Amino acid sequence: KTALGDELHMTDGRILERDYIPIFINGDYKGHLWSYTDISIKKKFEYVLKVQKQKYSSIIEDMNLGLVEMDQEYNIQWANSTFSEITEFANDDLVNSTILDICDREMLERPLANPALTTRELDIKTKSGVLKTFLFSETANRDLNGALKGRIGIFLDVTQFKALQKEKGRLLENLEKSNQELSEYAHIVSHDLKSPLRSLQALISWVREDDGDKLSGESLENFKNMDATLEKMDGLISGILNYSNIQRGNRKDIPVNINTVIDNIRETIFLPTHIKIVIKNKLPTMQVDKTRIEQLFQNLISNAVDHIDKEEGLIEIDCV
C-alpha cells in the first residue's frame, strides 16, 4: 500500500521524510519505490515557529491589556482572557457578539479630537452592571495578502486612575478653599492684633509727652525699648500677612543680610540670660524671600532655646 510522508528520526539527529510507492504491472506486484527527503531544517523551523507562537500567545493571554479581534462591524471573533476577566463575560459569550452591546456606542463612534491619534476613552458595562472606563485603541487587521478583514482592539482599564483624578481634583478644590480661608483669617487676626498695639504706642507717647520731665533717664530708656519692641511686633504681624501672600505664590526674593536677621531675632524672642547666641563667622547676604528666611531662623533658634537644659547654653551659627 502506498505510504506518503512517513517521518524517520535518524540517530545523527536528522529527520527524513519517506514515501513508499508499490509498483504493479497488469495487477501483479513487481516491486516498490522508496523516496527519501531530508526535512531537518524544515522541522526545526516549524518547531521554532511553534515555540514562538506559544510564547507570544502566553504573553497576549497574560498581559494586563484586553485584546479583541473584530470584523468591520465590531462583531467579536476572538478575545483574550484578560478582556474576559475585566468585563466578566465568558469567552464563549463574547465571541460572535458585538462590542456595541457592552460599550457606550456614542463614545465609540464620536470623531476623534485629533485624527492622528487612534486612542479614545470608552465606557464599558460589565456583566454585573459595573461601568468601567477604558482607553481603547484600534488598528486595521489584514490578511496575508494585505486585504482588510477587520479590526484589532486594545483595551486598558483606567477606572481606578479616573477615580484618583476626580479625588485629586476634589482635594485641590478643598485645598484652594482652605488657603482662601487661611488668608482671610490672617487678615482678620493681623487687624485685631494691630489695634491694641497702636493703643499701646499711643499711651506710651502720651505718658512721655505729659510726664517726660518727671521720668528718670532709665525710665525714658525703657520707654524707648518698649517703642522698639512694639515696632518689631508690628513687623511680625505684617509678616503674617506677607507669609499668607507667599503661600499663594506671591513671593519676592531680595538681598537679605542674615547677620541683621539674627540680630533682630535676638531682640524679638525671649532669650534667657544663661543662653548666648554667637555668630562664628560673618554670615552672607542672600537673595531670598525675607519673611521666609526670618521665619526659618526664628524657628531654628527658638527650638534651640527651648531644648537647652544646661546651666550655660550656647547657640553657634556658622555657614559654609
Contact at 8 Å (CB) between 244 and 183? yes
Is the whole-model pTM more than 0.85? no
The alpha carbon of 158 is separated from its chain's Cα centroid by a whole number of angstroms, namely 14
The C-alpha cell at 139 is 488598528
Q: Is the dihedral of CA 22, 23, 27, 30 positive or negative?
A: negative
According to the model, what pLDDT value does residue 71 have?
87
Q: How far apart are the first and last CA of the chain?
A: 99
Q: How confident is the model over 284-312, as pLDDT tens digits?
A: 999 998 878 888 898 899 889 888 888 89
Q: How far apart are CA 276 and CA 254, in angstroms?
A: 29
The per-residue pLDDT for range 10-54, each reduced to its tens digit, is 999 899 999 999 998 998 989 989 899 999 988 888 888 887 777
Please state, in angstroms and rounded to a whole number, the distance separating the CA atoms of residues 126 and 101.
11
* Closest among 296, 295, 196 to 239, alpha carbons compared: 295
- Of the candidates 267, 262, 271, the one whose C-alpha atom is nearest the C-alpha of residue 294 is 262
